[in-house]
């Protein structure tokens, strides 16, 4: 039986059988465990993975269309970044962080700004549209409390598996409850003292809002940093730079303070101050990765290897070294005997 992993809890995997004719037709979930041979091969399984199931055990993980590590989900069609207009206040740095993260993994991005009922400041709405609409991002302002623009929010998700991500307290769970009250997901108010939300979503889970809409609700997180790529690659995550990359005087230009930088010379025309400040912050984070690579290297020992499209367990480093030592000893012994 082929199925899709809809939830993972401890060592148990909850899978939904997939109709052969329609991958979006989801039945009731079944509790499974992973086959021991997959554990030995260190096979990772994520929410969204398509798998083969036999007698209550996952026996094979099928090829993934895509995968993101934070949150750990696979085979998604789009990512919807949810921000709050108020409570907590709109954080452009965090918003741009999520957008750049999605760009890195090549995901389709939609922007949702919730809690529109808490603000009557039209200038913020105008600012959002002036920054992100020219970049080609679809934008929707919603209010889960008052039901404002929920029809539009629902339309952008039809026929797709969407991941909702954003800071805690922006109203992701409230939006899902508004679309389908049967879910009754836990929600909490933003703290008056810290102006930060509380984690109410504890794990990733695929939820079928309707026959055409499937949402992966994810825990809010704030520790995402771009300390996994080189500084020169950060500019590729910003759509404003796409037509200008490679036109600077220096090939390794970071577009911050270099002479002959075509982007700096036209910065006010190309990118908004909020987006440029985010870019500089991400470059700083990526420099930590560059320093770490230079001083420590990034080669790591893996526990499995791919041979002829088959994953096999690798011999432990210490055991492999011991085997080589034994071969060397035997060679010297043969020479002595001769």
- Tens digit of pLDDT for each residue in 41-79? 889 999 999 999 999 999 999 999 999 887 789 999 999
Of 64, 84, 116, the residue that ends a domain is 64
CA–CA distance from 14 to each of 132, 165, 310 (Å)?
Answer: 38, 22, 26
- 224 assigned to some structural domain: no
Residues 39 and 58 in one domain: yes
| Residue 331 domain boundaries | 304-337
* Residue 317 CB partners (closer than 8 Å, separation 6+): 301
Residues 272 and 325 in one domain: no
Q: Name residue, tokens 């526990």.
A: 303
Residue 297: left (phi > 0), alpha (psi -120 to 50), or beta?
Answer: left
Residues 276 and 308 in one domain: no
- Domain with 129 in it: what CATH number? 3.40.50.300
Of 45, 64, 83, the residue that ends a domain is 64
Residues 188 and 276 in one domain: no
Of 162, 188, 217, the residue that ends a domain is 217
Contact (Cβ atoms closer than 8 angstroms) between residue 17 and residue 6: no
Beta-sheet pairing, 12-19 with 2-9: antiparallel
Number of helices (H), then strands (E), in the chain: 10, 16
Residues 90 and 191 in one domain: yes
* Residue 192 CB partners (closer than 8 Å, separation 6+): none
Task: Tell me the mean pLDDT in the region 4-20.
Answer: 85
Residues 252 and 164 in one domain: no
Residues 308 and 287 in one domain: no
Give the DSSP per-residue string, 142-168: -BTTTTBTHHHHHHTTTTEEEEEE--T
- 100 assigned to some structural domain: yes
- 35 assigned to some structural domain: yes
Task: Name the pTM for this structure.
Answer: 0.77
Residues 265 and 321 in one domain: no
- 16 assigned to some structural domain: yes
Residues 204 and 147 in one domain: yes
- 226 assigned to some structural domain: no
Residues 213 and 81 in one domain: yes
Residues 147 and 178 in one domain: yes
154-209 tens-digit pLDDT: 999 999 999 988 888 888 888 988 887 777 655 455 444 444 444 445 578 888 88
- 223 assigned to some structural domain: no
Residues 209 and 79 in one domain: yes
- Domain with 41 in it: what CATH number? 2.40.50.140
Contact (Cβ atoms closer than 8 angstroms) between residue 204 and residue 217: yes
DSSP 282: H
**The token pair that represents 262 in the structure block:** 């075509």
Q: Which residue has the higher pLDDT, 80 or 167?
A: 80
Number of domain units in the chain: 4
* Residue 333 CB partners (closer than 8 Å, separation 6+): none
Residues of the chain above pLDDT 70, percent: 81
């Amino acid at each position: 039986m082929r199925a899709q992993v809809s939830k993972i809890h401890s060592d148990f995997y909850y899978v939904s059988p997939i109709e052969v004719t329609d991958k979006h037709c989801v039945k009731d979930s079944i509790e499974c465990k992973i086959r021991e041979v997959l554990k030995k091969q260190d096979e990772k399984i994520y929410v969204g993975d398509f798998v083969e199931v036999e007698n209550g055990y996952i026996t094979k993980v099928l090829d993934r269309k895509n995968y993101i590590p934070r949150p750990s989900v696979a085979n998604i069609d789009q990512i919807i970044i949810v921000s709050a207009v108020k409570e907590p206040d709109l954080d452009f740095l965090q918003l741009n962080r999520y957008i750049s993260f999605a760009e890195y993994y090549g995901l389709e991005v939609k922007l949702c700004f919730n809690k529109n009922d808490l603000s009557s400041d039209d200038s913020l709405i105008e600012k959002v549209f002036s920054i992100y609409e020219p970049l080609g991002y679809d934008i929707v302002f919603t209010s889960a409390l008052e039901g404002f623009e929920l029809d539009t929010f629902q339309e952008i998700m039809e026929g797709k598996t969407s991941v909702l991500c954003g800071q805690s307290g922006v109203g992701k769970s409230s939006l899902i409850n508004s679309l389908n009250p049967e879910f009754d997901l836990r929600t909490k108010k933003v703290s008056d003292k810290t102006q930060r939300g509380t984690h109410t979503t504890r794990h990733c889970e695929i939820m079928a809002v309707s026959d055409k809409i499937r949402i992966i609700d994810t825990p809010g997180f704030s520790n995402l940093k771009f300390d996994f790529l080189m500084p020169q690659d950060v500019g590729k995550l910003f759509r404003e730079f796409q037509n200008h990359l490679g036109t600077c005087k220096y090939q390794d230009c970071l577009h911050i303070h270099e002479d002959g930088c075509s982007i700096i010379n036209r910065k006010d025309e190309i990118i908004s101050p909020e987006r440029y400040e985010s870019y500089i912050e991400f470059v700083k984070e990526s420099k930590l990765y560059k320093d770490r690579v230079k001083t420590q290297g990034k080669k790591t020992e893996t526990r499995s290897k791919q041979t002829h499209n088959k994953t096999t367990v690798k011999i432990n480093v210490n055991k492999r070294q011991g085997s080589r030592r034994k071969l060397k000893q035997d060679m010297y012994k043969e020479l002595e005997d001769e």
